[in-house]
Amino acid sequence: MGWFEKPAEAPLRVPTEALWTICPKCKAYVEKAEWKAADKVCPKCGYHGRLSARERIAMLIDDGTFKEINAQVTTSDPLNFSDASGRYLEKAEKTKAKTGEGESVKTGTGEICKHPVVIGVMDFSFLGGSLSSGCGERIALAAEEAVKRNVPLILVCCSGGARMHEGIISLMQMAKTSAAVGRVKAAGLPYLSILTDPTTGGVSASYAMLGDLNIAEPKVMIGFAGRRVIENTIKQKLPDDFQTAEYTLEHGFVDCIVHRKDLKAFIAKTLDYAGF
């Protein structure tokens, strides 16, 4: 019959995946335009999606005021590390090409509601936001820049922990960055730490928890070792909300939880109060 042979008409709409984002938490479909306009916060359940360093900077820093610093500091391979999946430096170079970043943290100067600051923003898409020698050096230099300019230091943390490809040199960045933060405080300057999803491992055990104010986004994961590791070690079942921002707030590890849409105004108000 003729209608069996009729050619199929072209679809009227582009494929669904081009129109919608699926919330990783509640699996709700959210229009991509709405998802982007909300800075990747789900309108259904409030889940805060991960932002790249550039997206975070665009959200927090006044237009036209950000100037990157320490971009020349990049990945090194002190151990000449390789494993079954290949050489560490090759992975790092592929990550640089994919993300357009030279390390897992992007640092620079800028203004937040006209308050001058030095800011560092970690990017989970760069090898899990891991703390490496290059990342630690960028943060230490950012702290020095804050002291030099006599302005607050703000670090936005998002990391799976130390980059074990660099062994003990990576772990030493915990002490190095903590000392750098200490010099900022010794100069009488505010240090604000913003904890996003996830903030774990060596980062949570160092500069992430040293803020004059530790600010977390809602429901983000904050901790050191993973749930399974802890449960297998202590042979106990942990609470369902263990290692959430709300749990850490209740137990005194963070000072406040601030929704992403309110974060810039909250920081500005804090800096007003501190006289900066």
Number of folded domains in the chain? 2
Q: How much is the mean pLDDT over the chain?
A: 94
pLDDT at residue 43, as a whole number: 94
pLDDT at residue 185, as a whole number: 98
Are residues 245 and 123 part of one domain? yes
Q: What is the C-alpha separation between 58 and 40, in angstroms, rounded?
A: 13
Are residues 80 and 32 part of one domain? no
Judge whether 6 lies within some domain: no
Give residue 88's pLDDT band: very low, low, confident or very high (50, 70, 90): very high
Judge whether 1 lies within some domain: no
Q: What is the CATH number of the domain that holds 155?
A: 3.90.226.10
Phi and psi, residue 136, nearest 5°: -60, -40
Are residues 193 and 130 part of one domain? yes
Are residues 22 and 86 part of one domain? no
Nearest to 103, CA basis, from 142, 67, 76: 76
Type of residue numbered 87: R
Type of residue numbered 255: D
Judge whether 3 lies within some domain: no
The residue whose two tokens read 């760069």 is 126
Are residues 84 and 64 part of one domain? yes
Are residues 164 and 187 part of one domain? yes
Tell me the mean pLDDT in the region 189-199. 98
41 has a pLDDT exceeding 60 = yes
The per-residue pLDDT for range 104-161, each reduced to its tens digit, is 999 999 999 999 999 999 999 999 999 999 999 999 999 999 999 999 999 999 999 9
Judge whether 220 lies within some domain: yes
Are residues 231 and 201 part of one domain? yes
Are residues 164 and 93 part of one domain? yes
Give residue 13's pLDDT band: very low, low, confident or very high (50, 70, 90): low
Q: Token pair of 230, please?
A: 């802890």
4 has a pLDDT exceeding 90 = no
Instruction: Give the global pTM.
Output: 0.91
pLDDT at residue 97, as a whole number: 96
Tell me the mean pLDDT in the region 200-209. 97
pLDDT at residue 242, as a whole number: 94
- Cis peptide bond N-terminal to 198, omega within 30: yes
Are residues 37 and 150 part of one domain? no
Are residues 61 and 194 part of one domain? yes
Q: What is the C-alpha separation between 143 and 183, in angstroms, rounded?
A: 8
Residue 20's domain comprises 11-47
Q: What is the C-alpha separation between 160 and 141, in angstroms, rounded?
A: 22
Judge whether 5 lies within some domain: no
Judge whether 62 lies within some domain: yes
Are residues 172 and 59 part of one domain? yes
Judge whether 41 lies within some domain: yes
Q: Token pair of 42, please?
A: 């789900």
Judge whether 4 lies within some domain: no
Q: What is the C-alpha separation between 247 and 257, in angstroms, rounded?
A: 11
Are residues 58 and 38 part of one domain? no
